[in-house]
Structure 1
Amino acid sequence: MRKPRQEIKSPQDPSSPRYADITLDNNREETDSTKNRLATVSQEICGLAAENSSTAWLATITLDNARDGTSSTKDRLETISQVITNLAAEGYPTGGVLLFPGGWLDAREAVPDADYCKRTTATLAPALQGTGHTVCFGIDGGKDAEGFARDQLALAVREGEGICAMGRKFAPSPQEVGHVSLCKNFAAGEAGYPRNFTHRGKTFFLAVCYDVYGISHGAGPNPGADAVLNCVHCFYPQGQGPSGVQYFAKLGFAGASKQWGCPVFGTAVFYDRNMPVRWPTGVMWTSGEKSTKKWRYDENPLVPSVVFGMKKDKGKITVRVFDGGW
């Protein structure tokens, strides 16, 4: 099933943030120079962890050059497990928040109710055991005759607990109006679960794709969130679907961060295209009353500590780790 699309024209790419240039694949066939850099990074990470074991860190996971269409639930759950393994190899074995895209799991015509979500996420228990991680991702379902997913949810699954938070989309794109079942209250949870969850002393707010536009346009006051986690669905090449990558960062991520005074983290699947190198998956607004339309990527203070890649048959996973302090 194709994900809901919002037709937005992209402006030119602004300047890029800085980040560690580290790329790996699942076979760990890195060069000697990369191995040396990884060893240095791992030593630094272990030092930071020793100084403050309670520091929250977060990883954003994007999928580049994916083939259009629905990926199997099994493959997507296996990818989560593989990311957990690779994060451990990079020096991040425990205590993280892992953010995956919207619609990461697709129930197709089925309704992703509480029972469906519990059954599906229960399969992550072995991969999460002993990690202390909280994994966040989107589940879509209830496809209508025009191919829209009526039910678009974001979930947080915690090691040893299962689902700890769930939220439904509250801000539809213009094309989704009348097609998507929305949450009546932007701060409300779903199926008896809260929308916010706390991890290592920080409170996180779950958002589904276009919800960041809802926040930036004044959905309501910040309900106590230290960070927004936005599960964005996807971007396509221009002319083939939603392609407003820059607008999503500038007007969505940056706009929501400006409105609520906290960082916004977001992830997406990029179909038949690469994720722009400079596209930020973490944004913190520090530009005062400046218009978000004039905001540039190089004004963003959030910089990942570690960046690495994983090769997949259906695309390339890019993982960016943001250490605490935001």
Structure 2
Amino acid sequence: MAKLLLPDNPASMDGGLICSLLEVKEACGLDKDEADRRLQVFGKNAFPVEPSTPLWKLVVGQFEDTLVRILLLAAFVSFCMAVLEDNRVDFVEPFIILLILTLNAIVGIWQEDRAEKAIESLKELAPDTAAVVRDGVTQTILAENLVPGDIVEVAVGDRVAADIRLLTLESTALRVDQSILNGESVEAVKQVKSVCSKWDRFPSSMVYRGTAVVYGKSRGVVVRTGTSTEMGCIECSVREQEERKTPQQCNRDEFGSDLLKDERTHSPYWCTVNIIRQFKTSLAEHVRSRGAR
């Protein structure tokens, strides 16, 4: 079992050779014990379940940006100055800053929520069950229990449960809607003949997890399950994009860090200048008041 080889490019290989590599016969399929062993090795045919991010974490995450923290500090200082000077007009500035930051946080939370929903929608595209040949008998099992080497039957109206290399057509043709993968509205015509083209991302000798059979019936062998499928790669890509910072965010962080360094460098100078100005003003008022006496 440890020496089982999964084909790297099953679309270009002969169906019989693939069955030989996966140690399975098309007519009989895997036996129950072998299927259970492979399930232990390859894991379930499902995407990892990750808990949704709590709302409070989404909110806190919107204020982890350095520039946002600087603006919060500026709003706080501006508010304190407005309180000390007791001038209602001065409250406008901190209010506008907080309003902008609040709107920015709302947009950020909405975008992150959309990304999580997109991942969940990908999981919903896979069927709950699949028709599989095991011990020479066609039976219906949970799709998450499919393993590489399983002989699976797909027919019109079915959602494909894993990435499958077609072996035989049981109808005149097989057409599949794979628009969720390639964005094309035209149904893809499938065949059992091997395809050697390196430029075809979704070869006609393969059907993929989440796609829908719109015409015909066929039998094939499972070559990829779970996150190894094309749909799994898309799910991983979406999750990575969600966690990775965009170039704009990186530039904003860099700008915020530079601004913070400048503030630390020049703040003592400006504080000293303001203290001297305040002292000179107070002294001038004191002299003026004594002169008036």
Query: What interval of TM-score do these two structures reach, taking the shorter chain for normalisation?
Result: under 0.3
Q: TM-score, normalised by structure 1?
A: 0.24
Q: TM-score, normalised by structure 2?
A: 0.26
Bigger helix fraction:
2
Computing the radius of gyration from Cα coordinates, the structure with the larger value is 2
